Amino acid sequence: MKSITEEQWIDWVDALAANDYVVIDDFLDDDTYRLLRNFFLNKLGHDEFDPAGIGALSEHHLDTSRRGDHVYWLDSEVDQNLAAIFELIHELIAKLNRYCFLGIADFESHLAYYPKGTFYEKHLDQFKARSNRLISMIIYLNEGWQPGDGGELKLYHNDEEKLVEPIAKRLILFKSDVLPHEVLTTNVGRYSLTGWMLKNPSDLGFLLG
Ligand code: OGA
Ligand code: NI
């Protein structure tokens, strides 16, 4: 795994604290990227993704007019092939706790597959029934992404709109409670890992819906 200097971590977490989001290119090195992408393709090939829902607990339901992705929830106990990824994410969490005093206590993540023609309408990553998400993170896995492929992440930041292209190895971090965002319609299959850093241990609310 590539080693990231302390200065580099500090620049990233400072940018996140100051601007509400930070985009980090080439966050994954080649080996880690390959591992994650192959894992993704394998789960997709074995039909292990489920249509994603909206809301938590009793409000959880499916609505493809609002969100069209399919997800595979990750579990570090089960998905041990991804140990290198979980290690990297834990390092990220440790830096956020050290330099931003965030008090992140847990983490939840899923792989997301947006079939061609799907999108996720404008939303905040917090549920009314469960508001413990502090930081959202997405790692994109779209090799050879080109303008016209669509599926950009659109951020609504203060009075500005910012488009983030979902290119391979890119990481975006943003504050879950303040940054409305949407996924524009994708014209090709769109791959990512999406995770949330939580302020309290996860109650796996999505499973109880
Ligand atoms: C989400 C989300 C954005 C993206 O899953 O909540 O907004 O770029 N994802 O995949
Ligand atoms: Ni979101």
Complete domains list, the chain, with CATH: 6-207 (2.60.120.620)
The tokens for 144 are 């050879």
Burial 50-79 (b: 16+ CB within 10 A, else e): eebbbbbeeebeeeeeebbbbbbbbeeeeb
- Nearest C-alpha to atom 6 of ligand 1 is from which residue? 125
- Write the pLDDT tens digit of every residue in 6-38: 999 999 999 999 999 999 999 999 999 999 999
Q: How far is the CA of 135 from the centre of ligand 2 (A)?
A: 11
- Write the pLDDT tens digit of every residue in 27-68: 999 999 999 999 999 999 999 999 987 666 666 776 778 999
Task: List CB contacts of 13: < 8 A, sequence separation 6 or more.
Answer: 22, 95, 96, 99, 100
Q: How far is the CA of 98 from the centre of ligand 2 (A)?
A: 25
Give the number of the ligand closest to the Cα of residue 112: 1
**Most informative mutation of 124, 138, 152 for ligand 1 (most atoms within 8 A of CB):** 138
**Most informative mutation of 136, 145, 175, 197 for ligand 1 (most atoms within 8 A of CB):** 136
Which residue type does 134 have? L
**Most informative mutation of 125, 140, 162 for ligand 1 (most atoms within 8 A of CB):** 125
Q: How far is the CA of 194 from the centre of ligand 1 (A)?
A: 7
Please list every protein residue whose CB sits less than 6 Å from any atom of ligand 1.
112, 120, 125, 138, 153, 181, 183, 192, 194
State the pLDDT at residue 142. 98
Helices (H), the chain: 6-19, 30-45, 83-100, 205-208
Question: In degrees to the nearest 10, what's the CA dihedral of 112, 116, 122, 126?
Answer: -10
State the pLDDT at residue 59. 64
Ligand 1 atom nearest to CA at 69: 5
- From the centroid of its chain, how far is CA 47? 21
State the pLDDT at residue 112. 98
The pLDDT-based confidence of 88 (bands split at 50, 70, 90) is very high
User: How many angstroms separate the CA atoms of 32 and 38, rounded?
Assistant: 10
